[in-house]
Structure 1
Amino acid sequence: MGTVRGGRLKIREVARLAGVSVGTVSNVINHPERVSDGLRRRVESVLEESGFSPDPTARALSLGRSSMIGVVFFDISNPFFAEAAHQLSRLFENLGCSMVLAETDQVAEIESRVLRNMERVGVDAVIVCSTGACWDDLSRLRDRGVPVVLMAQRSERPGFPSVGINDYDGMRKVAGHLWGRGLRRFSFVNEPVQATQHKDRWRGFSDEIVARGMRVEDVDVQWASGPTWDGGYEVARHVMSRPSALWPDAFVCLNDHLAMGVSKAVTDAGLTVGRDVCVSGFDDVPYASVLGVPLTTIRQPIAGICEYIAREIGDFLNGEGAVSGRTFDAELIVRQSA
């Protein structure tokens, strides 16, 4: 049997060498179950001998899909997003899909550009933790039939399913726990970009303390430079530079990454986390439980969230209906830090 050398072998040439139609070759590549065993083996023999590799763009067009899933996160250095990316990559690989991962640093202009690029390359679905400023880009993807799933944040618009926990309820549980320990002086460590989940967490905390008789104005709200370890460390260093009479009983952090930086600053000030000053986080990232002083936090079931999203997208790609959202319960995890 002759082979074709030099350049990509065309599907028409494979058909000629195998003595079958172009349609049969296409079915062997894309829908082998439609081809008899004899024809399939004949075509596969030619494909193997010639080293044929189908043009990915043409195949995507023929199937109406690219087998690429877009994932857009704020900050991959955040342990929550890093673990989520790892879980999703493994799950999508099991579906025969590749993950296209992008980081936005919580900058709306970057998020918009990333979403437009994903639209151009033709991803089959998009999972996003959004700044909340790019609804036009998200709507354009959705209107083209690309499911858009908001991960770890509540959706503010109809038609965009969200998968995550109840952030509002989670932070109410944190506030109730700290109040129950007799703590009344709070420094709330907030993030600079107010995405939906951040607003929900602050609202949950403030509503709970107001319900218990405290004024919101009495909370020391601190704005970190970013949702990072460094951001938390800088804020806590600033707060702990005050006279000791003005120190908080507890730092309430919007995520675990911030809480880890805060804990280090408290330790560097010569104090003991959980005894002299309490610290709480949010997310329960993989190593929150093995810090020097294990972190009290709200658990986001990362594995469960990712498995649910992957299952919904897999069902959609198999023609089994639209992607739906889900809200998981927020679980308070009490450890030594608070």
Structure 2
Amino acid sequence: MREFAALCGVSLSTVSRVLSHSREEAEVSKKTYDRIRAKAAEVGFKVNYYAQVLHSRNSNCLGFLVGSRMPLLTEPLLHGLTRSLNLRQKHFALHFGDDAPEKEADAFDRMVAYNAETVFYIPSFQKGGNYSTRHIRRILEKYPEYPPVITLYGGTDIPGFHQVGFRDYETGKQAALRQLACGCRKFGVIALLYSNLMHREMIRGYRRTLLENGVPARNIKECFVGYEETPADAFETFRDAEGLWFSHYVLLLHCARRLLDRTGDGKRLHIDCLCGTETEILYHQLQPQPRSGDMPDDFLHWFGSLMIYKFRVEDIGAKAAEIALQLFRQNAANVPRFSPIELTPELFR
């Protein structure tokens, strides 16, 4: 860069501003800006991005770590982020964890090591009853000062992270109270075998609220299913159920036919679940068809009641971008750790 500055007859700082910023931000005349840019193109000179990072300790890079492959979630999240952030001088580094803790930890390590300004993070799904973030915590122990991390969906139990999400426990509680008001006495939870902290916290709110309102534990059944490994008799336990919590609307679509085969009468079922609005049209195409003319053609009205708690995935990305901008402008300690996205309940009878 020193040699190129001498070639152009300007200072080192002028070359740096011209080649690293837009015309408006470079603080030089249009004539000087165009002359230096033209000379750089003529001799093939480019600023060394990695040298800039080492020198300034500011990478202008935003990390985006997707713990699980979820294209229906990732695309609208990215759209919400990019339409809200000024990306002229920013770069996205996109990494996938593929639900493997070692891959997720390695991606985190790389983003922190090359000074990502902010890390946007969709936590992975994990199997079983215990959710662990030990693999992430081990990486963070290596870096006393790591960049701000914003979880966009799924929640986290790491105190230093910022979160954009729903009021998970309250959502489960609201579902339980609604079903109790409908007169339900026997309940069930149907959730994915692989889940994140958000789904588990909603289930906790649902179950605990039922218990606190006098429902015996024996009247709250649970079933964790996988799309490819669900036993044929998995829904036998819900034969007498009246109130059901599904962790997601698409899971209800997947299970509805076999569930109705076991319960017999869908009209006595009161169901609550979660759904992103960007995927509603797609899910509509997946709705089960009635076997008998006695049932309504519209799947949403097969049950006594169906409450869907809706949200726009793009809004989550936009809110995360808003937090990132706040973090760029002020001390992280002044930015709230949790920013809620409000769910919109829609009831079908």
The TM-score with structure 2 as length reference comes to 0.75
Q: Counterpart in 1 of 2:51? A: 58
Q: C-alpha distance in 2, partners of 1:239/1:26? A: 64
Q: Counterpart in 2 of 1:19? A: 9
Q: CA RMSD in A?
A: 3.4
Map of 1:76-91 to 2, 5 A cutoff? Answer: 76-77=69-70, 79-91=72-84
Q: What is the number of residues matched between the two proteins? A: 317
Q: Counterpart in 1 of 2:39? A: 46
Q: Counterpart in 2 of 1:167? A: 168
Judging by fraction of residues, say which structure has more strand. Answer: 2
Assess, with a 3 A threshold, how the Cα gap between structure 1 residues 47 and 313 changes in structure 2: closer, same or farther: same
Return the offset for 1:188.
0.7
Return the offset for 1:68.
2.3
Q: Counterpart in 1 of 2:273? A: 281
Q: Counterpart in 2 of 1:234? A: 230
Q: For 2:318, which of 307, 311, 322 is the aligned residue?
A: 307
Return the offset for 1:204.
0.6
Q: Counterpart in 2 of 1:188? A: 189
* SS of aligned partner of 1:203: helix
Return the offset for 1:277.
4.5
Q: C-alpha distance in 2, partners of 1:53/1:283? A: 47
Q: C-alpha distance in 1, partners of 2:134/2:7? A: 54
* SS of aligned partner of 1:152: coil
Assess, with a 3 A threshold, how the Cα gap between structure 1 residues 271 and 54 changes in structure 2: closer, same or farther: farther
Deviations 1:165-188 (A, max 9, x none): 110001111122222223333331
Q: Counterpart in 2 of 1:263? A: 256
Deviations 1:292-330 (A, max 9, x none): 43463223453333222112213433x433253334264
Return the offset for 1:28.
1.5
Deviations 1:53-89 (A, max 9, x none): 3222123334432232222234333634443234234
The answer (yes or no) to whether the contact 2:66–2:121 under 8 Å persists in 1 is yes
Assess, with a 3 A threshold, how the Cα gap between structure 1 residues 82 and 303 changes in structure 2: closer, same or farther: closer
* SS of aligned partner of 1:24: helix
Assess, with a 3 A threshold, how the Cα gap between structure 1 residues 330 and 186 changes in structure 2: closer, same or farther: farther
- Sequence identity percentage: 17
Q: Which has the higher contact order (CA 8 A, sep 6+)?
A: 2
The answer (yes or no) to whether the contact 1:106–1:193 under 8 Å persists in 2 is no
Deviations 1:110-141 (A, max 9, x none): 32222112223432211223353334246348
Q: C-alpha distance in 2, partners of 1:196/1:288? A: 24
The answer (yes or no) to whether the contact 2:80–2:315 under 8 Å persists in 1 is no
Q: Counterpart in 2 of 1:3? A: none
* SS of aligned partner of 1:122: coil
Q: Counterpart in 2 of 1:28? A: 18
Q: For 1:320, which of 312, 324, 330 is the aligned residue?
A: 330
Return the offset for 1:279.
4.1
The answer (yes or no) to whether the contact 2:249–2:308 under 8 Å persists in 1 is yes
* Runs of 4+ residues deviating >6 angstroms: 270-273
* SS of aligned partner of 2:133: coil
Structure 2 unaligned blocks of 5 or more:
124-131, 288-298, 301-305
The answer (yes or no) to whether the contact 1:281–1:296 under 8 Å persists in 2 is yes
* SS of aligned partner of 1:99: strand
* SS of aligned partner of 2:330: coil
Q: C-alpha distance in 1, partners of 2:49/2:26? A: 20
Return the offset for 1:46.
1.0
Q: C-alpha distance in 2, partners of 1:329/1:85? A: 16
The answer (yes or no) to whether the contact 1:141–1:148 under 8 Å persists in 2 is no
The answer (yes or no) to whether the contact 1:119–1:141 under 8 Å persists in 2 is no
Assess, with a 3 A threshold, how the Cα gap between structure 1 residues 77 and 161 changes in structure 2: closer, same or farther: closer
The answer (yes or no) to whether the contact 1:75–1:81 under 8 Å persists in 2 is no
The answer (yes or no) to whether the contact 2:277–2:312 under 8 Å persists in 1 is no
Letter in 2 for 1:15: A
Assess, with a 3 A threshold, how the Cα gap between structure 1 residues 282 and 95 changes in structure 2: closer, same or farther: farther
The TM-score with structure 1 as length reference comes to 0.77
* SS of aligned partner of 2:32: helix
Q: C-alpha distance in 1, partners of 2:172/2:40? A: 58
